[in-house]
């Protein structure tokens, strides 16, 4: 189907951030990831929808509108947030497969996070080429790579 199917990412709105004001940072992170996964699911449903799943062009169009609203939530997100969501998705869509897989593991929410992840990916692969293999993960807060 579409290469973009697995490239769905989520940009939280101010309303969503308010919903995430939970006591512990672990709860907050778990809630954010759960919400992000839900958004990714809606994105996949939108991207994977087939013309043959509906009866006629009117139903196809209506269903696509419904699925896009579930994914993009225009009632909650501003136009700017929706544009950023689409740009982030397209960024991953046009990225090499290894970069897509790497970035998706960390559920990036901003352009800066995606860029940092790709830069980490490139740095890690340069280092692996120099000194061997190892499990590494990005540190988005500091921009550094952490060996694990």
> Domain segments of the chain: what residues?
1-94, 96-148
Q: According to the CATH classification, is domain 1-94 in 1.10.4020.10?
A: yes
> Residue 131 is inside which H or E element, if any?
helix 111-131
Report the DSSP pairing between strands 136-139 and 144-147: antiparallel
pLDDT of residue 32: 67
Our CA dihedral for 98, 103, 105, 109, rounded to 10 degrees, sits at -160
pLDDT of residue 126: 86
The model's pLDDT over 59-82, given as tens digits with 9 standing for 90+, comes to 999 999 999 999 899 999 999 999
Tell me if the pTM is above 0.85. Answer: no
Which phi and psi angles does 7 have, rounded to 5°? -100, 20
Q: How far apart are CA 37 and CA 148, in angstroms?
A: 25
Q: How far apart are CA 94 and CA 113, in angstroms?
A: 17
**Residues 87, 89, 95, CA angle at the centre, nearest 5°?**
100
All residue ranges of the chain with pLDDT < 50 are 1-7, 9-22, 141-142, 147-148
pLDDT of residue 137: 57
Residue 136 bridge partners (DSSP)? 147
């Amino acid at each position: 189907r579409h290469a973009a199917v697995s490239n769905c990412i989520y940009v939280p709105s101010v309303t969503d951030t308010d919903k995430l004001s939970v006591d512990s940072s672990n709860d907050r992170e778990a809630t954010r990831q759960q919400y992000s996964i839900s958004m990714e699911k809606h994105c996949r449903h939108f991207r994977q929808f087939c013309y043959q799943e509906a009866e006629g062009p009117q139903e196809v169009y209506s269903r696509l509108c419904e699925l896009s609203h579930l994914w993009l939530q225009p009632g909650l997100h501003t136009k700017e947030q929706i544009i950023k969501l689409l740009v982030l998705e397209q960024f991953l869509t046009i990225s090499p497969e290894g970069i897509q897989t790497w970035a998706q593991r960390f559920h990036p929410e901003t352009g800066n996070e995606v860029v940092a992840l790709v830069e980490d990916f490139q740095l890690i692969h340069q280092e692996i080429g120099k000194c061997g293999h190892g499990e590494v993960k990005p540190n988005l807060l500091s921009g550094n790579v952490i060996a694990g």
